[in-house]
Amino acid sequence: SAAEKPILLNNIADAEAFVSGAEVAVIGFFQDPRSPEAEQFRLAAGQIPEVPFGLSSSDAVLSHYGASANTVVLFRRVDNDRRDLDMNNREVDAKKLTRFVRMNELRLVTEYDPVTAIGVMQSSLQFNLLLITDKMSPKHPERMRKFRAAAELYKGKILFILLDSNLKSNERVLSYFQLKKSQLPALAVFHTPDDEHDVLTVDEISIERLQDFCNRFLQ
């Protein structure tokens, strides 16, 4: 519950367990846990219930992560990456902190929208696999289950992205891959450095088919 957030992390073992226990985890490193910056951090933590927030004022933990005081660090498992936000800047408040988390919280399967798009573009992973589909379809939960299972196999290699074809803001992506709504669902794999891509229209998704498509493109 928001009342229990953020979790206090007093030593390195607690902090490591906290980070490895979630797809996305946020730690605020504050020398003074009662500072105005730490209060803004607490406010943001309450606004994002599904992301675990931890707070540490232990010198050992700060030095273990190479973090300076008054810094918020977002850790993500999908590409083994982290993003740091300096809270010493007086301009940074709970609202900006919330946006920072929303923008950078890439997951095993990240849903693409105007906010996550920024994080997707800044990811260290050069390969993206998009599932372009109608989220309202009765087959959607089963498709997502298989897509997520395949994402586990390519963790650290390919960023798996869900693109809802119902969103007006996603129409540009459909036209980029020269897809019509009648051809969906479709898979599109993309190599960001050179825009090289491949598209596969699928009636049914299987983990084997996803692997075959990804492996062919990676080779």
70-82 CB burial, b ≥16 within 10 A, e <16: bbbbbbbbbeebb
Which are the contacts of 145, defined by CB distance < 8 A and separation ≥ 6?
A: none
Residues 89 and 118 in one domain: no
State the pLDDT at residue 1. 43
- What's the one-letter identity of residue 141? P
pLDDT of residue 3: 53
| Count of the separate structural domains present in the chain | 2
Whether residue 214 sits in one domain with residue 194: yes
Q: Which pTM does this prediction carry?
A: 0.83
Domain boundary among 82, 104, 126: 104
Where does residue 101 rank: exposed (0-12), middle (13-18), buried (19+ CB within 10 A)?
A: buried
Angle between helices 207-218 and 140-153 (to 10 degrees): 50
Per-residue pLDDT tens digits of the chain, which is 219 residues long? 445 689 999 999 999 999 999 999 999 999 999 999 999 999 999 999 999 999 999 999 999 999 999 999 999 998 889 999 999 877 889 999 999 999 999 999 999 988 898 888 888 899 999 999 999 999 999 999 999 999 999 999 999 999 999 999 899 999 999 999 999 999 999 999 999 999 999 988 999 999 999 999 999
Mark whether 202 and 137 lie in a shared domain: yes
Can you tell me the distance from the alpha carbon of 96 to that of 85, in angstroms, rounded to the nearest whole number? 10
Per-residue confidence (pLDDT) for residue 91, from 0 to 100: 84
Same domain, 168 and 89: no
Residues 50, 65, single domain; the answer is yes
Residue 2 lies in a domain: no
What residue numbers bound the domain in which 45 lies? 7-104
What are the structure tokens assigned to 120, written together?
A: 């997707």
Distance CA 186, CA 201 (A): 4
CA-CA distance, 164 to 132, in Å (whole number)? 6
Q: Are 197 and 189 in contact (CB under 8 A)?
A: yes
